Structures are given as C-alpha cells and as structure tokens.
Structure 1
C-alpha cells in the first residue's frame, strides 16, 4: 500500500511538472483583432508557392515563387497574370522589390539578381553575391532610403556567433555586399522580453519577409512558421508584435505597400487554403 502511494505521488508530481512546463512554454494564441482582411485575390496554380510580392503601381504587383526564375505581373483589377519576365534559372527565390524600373530578386543563398528595365525587351541582368550563404537562408529584402542601403534578416543562422540575437543587416547599395556594421540588433536582454517572453526564446522568429512603410518608415517583418507580424520603429527598435490568425494567414511569405500606404500580404498554398494576395487594413 505504501509503495502504491509513493508511485502515485511520483506520477502526480510528474504530471504537475509537465503541466507547469507546458503552461510556461506554450505559445500565446490570442490572435489580433486589429488587422482585417478587406479583399482577397486567389492566385493561379503557378503561384501556389508565392514567396514575395512588390508593387509596380497601385494595380499591378510583381510576384515570384520559390522554384522558377520568373517575375509574374499580377493585375489586381483584371485578377490575372498579365506578364511573365524570365530573369534566371530554377532556384529558391524568396524576395522581390521593385524600385522604379529596376527589379531586385533575392535568392535564399544570398545571391541578388538586379534586373534593370525589367519590363523592357532590352532589360539587363546583373548578379551579385552579397556575402550570405544557404545556411543563412535569406528571405527578406527591401530598400532603406534613409541609410541608402538595403536591409535583410537571415531566417536561420546569423553571420556571427550570436545565434539568439535578432539582427537586421545592411547591404551596400553600390557593391551589394553585406556591411560589417548591422542596422539593428535585438538581444535576449532587450526590454522586449518583459512583455513578450515567448517572442524569440520558445517559439523563435523566422523572418519570411521585411518591408518598410513608405510613409512612416517603420519596418514590417513577417513570420511564416507561426504567423506573426513584427513592427519595428524606423531606428530598428521594437514597437509591436501581432499574432495573425492562421485561418486567414496560412503561410504569409510576402508583404508590400501601395502608394497610399495600404498593406498587402501574400500567402502560399496550404492544405485548406489557396495561394492568395490579401488587402489588409487596420481597425
């Protein structure tokens, strides 16, 4: 009888401990009600792995997908692809940015394609190796006009041994090489952990895209693994994080703003949802 009580006490203790560990480490799934999907465009099957979007103008969006070196021009008004632009071989293309008549496409290996006059029959293609590699897994890229550089964040390993730090790197706009001095760094000791203790430590944060708001200069960063939207102040310090409902954001991989500052998010295909572009507004 005594042995049975001891065994029961041990089992009870283990269960209680497991419950405490689960409670401490479980993700917080209180999805934000600040963001509302106002419109959705279902993309054709060729874009089921849409990995990046960027506005050409307020009605046309340049899209890329993981596996092919093609820029797909999607017309929001016509609700279809209106042009395809070949720029490279098969690869793992993750981010696209349109700056005037130039398209920049980032491969996960850190290889950057610069397509000059990308909509012209006389377009020119330049290829640069930024200093990152496949182990860094680069999926984000945007122009930062204030510092005259491009910004990016490794999805996996940093270039330093600070594996737990969240580092935004600068890429020189002339040489297209990563600069030694980072744009910003959020460490495990940052005050962000006082109110967001699950932010990096337990769940991690896997940046699937980064873009800069055209009016406020704030930096918007998507996480596709656990759908979240991180907003940083223009200087790179923490402002806010929103947990996105996977019912609407199944795998957010692309983000772009139109000239009015309206936010568009693209999602890859999932088991239950088709690939899409969404107009998302704040409420």
Structure 2
C-alpha cells in the first residue's frame, strides 16, 4: 500500500504552470469530508487492468468488481485488494459497472443490459441471469449503475445517449422487484451547470461511475473523460464540481463507499497496473472539535464581557498596555484611540486624537512613547507620544506595491523587533488561496522586499476537513505564554493558532457567529489571557475576555 502525502500542497493538488515568465498555481479542491492529498493507493492484480466498476458488500465485507472485456465478476479482499474469488458471468462483454441491491449483485453492460448475480449462502452456488434490457431508441452508452434503496431502484446514468444534448445527461431507473426498466428519465443532470461550476475548462461531462454516499446522502458521479467528480442530490441536482488530477486519477472508472463513509475510487491502467485509492471520511464538526480541544481556551463561552459605547461601535483593533493593564482601542476611520479599562468597566478612560479620517484597521503598542496604526492599504503610521499626548507629526511608511492590497491585521513580533502585516486579501491571493505576511523593521523603518511567510489556507481546510472554509484575517497577536500566533478571521469566523515564524496553522477553532458577529480585534496579556473585540454592526460592540486554562 502506498500512502499518498503532498505536504507542500497540503489539502490541494497544485499544478505549476509557466506563463509570462511567472509561476502560477492552479488550486484543486477536495470534496467535503475528504482530502485528495491524503489517500492510500494500492496496485491491482493484472487481471483488473481495465477495472470498470466496483461495489461494496457490507454483509460479506468485500468488494465486487468488473473488468471491461472480461467474462468474470471478481471479489476483492477489503484490506489487501487482492482477488479472493472469481465468478463467470457469461460471454465476455463491455461490462461497465456493478451494484449491490437487496443482497444481489447487478452488472451493467455498456448497452444498458443488466445481469443479476446471486450466490447461495449455504452451498456457495452462483446463479447468473439477464434481468433487463434497455429499449431506448438510437445508440445509447452507459457506464454508471448505482442502487437507490429509498426508491427501490437501480439507476443508470447515460454516458452518451441519443436523447441527450450538450446540456443534458439523463438517468433511467430499473426496478428489480417490480416493473423493470422505465424508458422515461427519472431525472436529468444539467451538464451546463456542471460546466459552469467546474474549476477548469474541460470536455462534456460523461459519467463513468456513480454511488450514493451513505453518510451525506449525496450522489457522487465520476467522469473519466472530463476528469471531474460531481456531487449532486438524489434527484440529480448538481451541488458542486471537483477536478480529478490525472496524477492521482489516471482513469477513474469505479466508485464505492463503505458504510462508515470511506470512499474508494478505482482507476483502470494506462501505464503499469490499475489502482485502487481509499480516502477516509472525516466529519468537519468532529474535526473542528478535535482541533479546538488542542487550544487552552474555551472560545464558546467568554469569561467576561464588556459592552462598548457608540464611540467604539466600529472598533477594529486593540493593543494591551502592560504598565497600565488596560487596552488601547481604535475606531475604524475616526483617527481616535481610546483607553479601555476592562477590569473597571470603563471604555473611555481617555482619548488620543492622532490624525484625521482614514481607513485604520489595527493598532500596536510598542512602548509609552510609540504606537503604530495600520491603514487598510498596507501603510504603517507611527505615532509618537508623550504623557499620553501626540507629539510631532505622525510618520507614514508605505508598503511597496504595484497592485491593490487589503490589510486588517498588524501585530508586534518583539523577538524580531518587527511589525508584521498579514494580508486580508492581497493581489493574486484569491486564486492561489494564500495569505502573505510582510515584515516592517522597527530599527530601519523599512519593509522587507519579500514576504516573511505565506500562510496556506488549504492547511486550514485540511485541519477542519472542510473544503469550503473561508479565511480572511482581521487581527492577530503573538501569545507570550506559548509563543504561538493567534489569528482572528471575521470572514470565515475562525481563530487560527499558527507557528509565528512560518505561519503554518496548527489548530483551528470555529467561532460561533451568534457570539462573534464581527471579530475584528485581538490582544493578549503577559499571562496569556485573550481579549477579542467585535464591531457593533446592527447591535452593540463588545470585548470578550478568555482566560487561559491550566492543563
């Protein structure tokens, strides 16, 4: 067994493309509950070079498979994937898929003919019988057969049927216990929608295998020709489309699920042997709970709460002042900094006016003489203080950039005597799904030319096992107790704990949107207690305190 790992690419499979002398990365997502970056791959027996369909038998705890051009039904061991039994099924033919229904195995031929295979449990005697023939007009081609037990039917999905056009793929039902075939489609898949949702341009969606996921009750459909995985509801309504990388899926012709949700995809051989790939099922909610368990805070229940007045309704950044044990808070666009005494419930101990209107997003307290403000474009404003009053004219330092960038996060890295600016979404990041961090050297008052680190969003998705997770940082701070970087994201409602030097996510906590309506600020005390602020929106702005829990 070969364990697949792509650590540099984490959740996604990246394809490097050379264009205009610059490297571009195409991001390939994994379906919900699965990761294409983490799968186990087995080579199959040479008799299965052209494996074209598989199904899982929960009762016998094994797989059944068919091979195009063969006259045999194969039983495969669940663990080793080796052939444990072979059963003749008649003349050799284009057998394309296999499905289990009510303890019987049904085998699909390319022309729509269905053969039933049963085995006596006491004697082991096998029985083969042709039970259905599709009688549609014209030339029709099928490669997908799956069981829908709720409908008491086997469903065939057209690969290429006469009645379909470029925007339609029909599915037909076969009722084993009653009327057999019906010539009217039970549903039609919108191939145009598949095309519009596809993350890349490809040929027409032509199904090569399908199965119902027992955990999600969604229909998973493979298309070998277009290298796509389509997820739909049980009426064929398309929900999402994913690219199947040829590197991993050379010829995806079979799909099956274990009752626990494990997904199995088989590839017929192009070079060498056919392959069998297993992907573990992960529940995003369980993954989130497991990740949150590694963080020494209970972010679902604040230990204390302070409601703020209208002057901090759009609070967008905070900084802890150790000598005073108070918080500096700034209000987006006002050019004002307020001192908040959280302990004594005073949100306006004093106000410092440092400038005019501007899109100020974060604040860093360096010492009693200096604070720094972040402008959303990436500019850093240095404000000099003397006895809590501004002295001189604030100095502005621009991040060198020839394209539009958006920042909401700036934090102090004392060990490197630096300010770190983390993109909310900078130029080019939407396609590559990364967040870059830029270092501002406090000794020279200059920015480094290259990013200090690049945070991979897909690493967050991998931890959560959620390919749809969003992450746009709105605030961050280094925790002096564990020396980790804590990042809050209002868009995505996440708190990420990362390595402060590399930005590599280590834990991810989902923030309850009912509690955290718009988390925009974070600051951490020397003892490790965390304060998170929320803009008011249509309600009241708040600051929550979370006490670090002892292990």
What band does the TM-score fall into relative to the shorter chain? Answer: 0.7 to 0.9
Q: State the secondary structure of the residue aligned to 1:146.
A: helix
Query: Does structure 2 retain, via aligned residues, the 8 Å contact 1:205–1:223?
Result: yes
Query: Does structure 2 retain, via aligned residues, the 8 Å contact 1:213–1:220?
Result: yes
* Unaligned segments of structure 1, at least 5 residues: none
If each structure's strand is expressed as a fraction of its own residues, which one has the higher value? 2
If each structure's helix is expressed as a fraction of its own residues, which one has the higher value? 1
Match among 526, 533, 545 for residue 259 of structure 1: 526
CA distance in 2, matches of 1:72, 1:191: 36
Cα 1:132–1:257 change in 2 (3 A) is farther
Query: Does structure 1 retain, via aligned residues, the 8 Å contact 2:498–2:507?
Result: yes
Q: Mapping of 1:75-224 within 5 angstroms? A: 75-76=341-342, 77-101=344-368, 102-117=370-385, 119-121=387-389, 123-124=391-392, 125-132=394-401, 135-158=404-427, 163-187=432-456, 194-198=462-466, 202-224=468-490
CA distance in 2, matches of 1:78, 1:191: 39
CA shift, 1:55, in A, is 1.2
Which one has the largest radius of gyration?
A: 2
Q: Which residue of 2 aligns with 1:21?
A: 240
CA shift, 1:148, in A, is 2.4
Bigger shift: residues 9-18 or 140-149:
9-18
CA distance in 1, matches of 2:339, 2:459: 42
CA shift, 1:176, in A, is 3.5
The alignment's C-alpha RMSD in Å is: 3.1
CA distance in 2, matches of 1:227, 1:240: 14
* Unaligned segments of structure 2, at least 5 residues: 1-135, 137-162, 164-181, 191-218, 220-231, 242-282
- TM-score norm. by structure 2 comes to 0.45
Please identify runs of 4+ aligned residues in structure 1 that moved more than 4 A.
2-5, 11-14, 17-20, 27-33, 158-162, 190-194
Q: Which residue of 2 aligns with 1:41?
A: 306
Query: Does structure 1 retain, via aligned residues, the 8 Å contact 2:460–2:508?
Result: no
CA shift, 1:86, in A, is 0.8
CA shift, 1:191, in A, is 5.8
Cα 1:223–1:131 change in 2 (3 A) is same
CA distance in 2, matches of 1:206, 1:153: 10
Match among 274, 277, 283 for residue 543 of structure 2: 277
Q: Which residue of 1 aligns with 2:187?
A: 9
Q: Which residue of 2 aligns with 1:228?
A: 494
* Number of equivalent positions: 274
Residue 268 (structure 1) aligned with residue 535 (structure 2): yes
